[in-house]
């Protein structure tokens, strides 16, 4: 399974820290969409209240191997463009508790289903403000990996995925969504003391 790594700087909430180690528990519940269980060799759509941790539109979950697509992690993954429940784009999100000033790593796997022109929006919502980033670099041939970090500016932060193109019910696979608090090493703490923190959400290789 091919994995495509991208690197870019995006204007979201904050900056990554050099030399930090992401060694804490995942704050995202059911980030690999393993719950509820889907019958082997098939798919099923659920209302978001049936999918642990997630809120928003209907969520379509595929079992690994269905239609020749293997999960990036675990036995299942989600299609953002699910069976319809409304007019307009699909969106799923999760709100986590965050500590103001703490740096968090965010990562997830994403893949196009039908066309390399598919795209979706990643939004970080905090303290009434939303900063968005369009992801349109994924392909049908394998999983791409998003990896970045942000500094929380409120006690809650929402991570949201919203379909953009196509705007129908086909496209944009997601898997292995993770948010972890960074634990700085001693050298990093020294850098922090020097005020070497930048602004902007950073994606890294």
For 2-203, CATH gives 2.60.120.260
Cβ–Cβ < 8 Å for 94, 54? yes
More confident: 191 or 34: 34
d(C-alpha 205, C-alpha 45), whole Å:
33
Exposed e or buried b per residue across 19-29, where buried means at least 16 C-beta atoms within 10 angstroms of its C-beta: ebebeeebbbe
pLDDT tens per residue across span 62-115 = 999 999 999 999 999 999 999 886 778 999 999 999 999 999 999 999 999 999
What pLDDT was estimated at residue 204?
54
Domain ranges (residues) in the chain? 2-203
d(C-alpha 196, C-alpha 30), whole Å:
34
Hey, is 62 helix, strand or coil?
strand
| pLDDT for 205 beyond 90 | no
DSSP 139: B
What pLDDT was estimated at residue 86?
72
What pLDDT was estimated at residue 167?
74
């Amino acid at each position: 399974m091919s994995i495509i790594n991208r690197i870019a700087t995006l204007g979201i909430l904050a900056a990554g820290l050099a030399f930090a180690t992401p060694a804490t528990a995942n704050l995202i519940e059911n980030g690999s969409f393993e719950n509820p269980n889907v019958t082997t060799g098939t798919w099923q759509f659920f209302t978001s209240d049936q999918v642990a941790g997630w809120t928003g539109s209907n969520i379509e979950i595929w079992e690994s191997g269905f239609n020749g697509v293997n999960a990036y992690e675990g036995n299942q993954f989600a299609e953002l463009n699910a069976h319809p429940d409304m007019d307009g784009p699909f969106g799923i999100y999760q709100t986590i508790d965050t500590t103001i000033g703490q740096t968090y790593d965010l990562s997830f796997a994403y893949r196009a289903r039908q066309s390399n022109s598919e795209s979706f929006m990643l939004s970080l919502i905090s303290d009434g403000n939303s900063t968005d980033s369009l992801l349109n670099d994924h392909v049908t041939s394998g999983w791409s990996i998003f990896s970045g970090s942000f500094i929380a500016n409120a006690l809650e932060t929402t991570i949201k995925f919203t379909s953009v193109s196509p705007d129908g019910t086909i496209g944009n696979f997601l898997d292995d969504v993770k948010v972890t608090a960074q634990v700085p090493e001693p050298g990093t703490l020294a850098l922090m003391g020097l005020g070497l923190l930048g602004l902007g959400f950073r994606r890294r290789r």
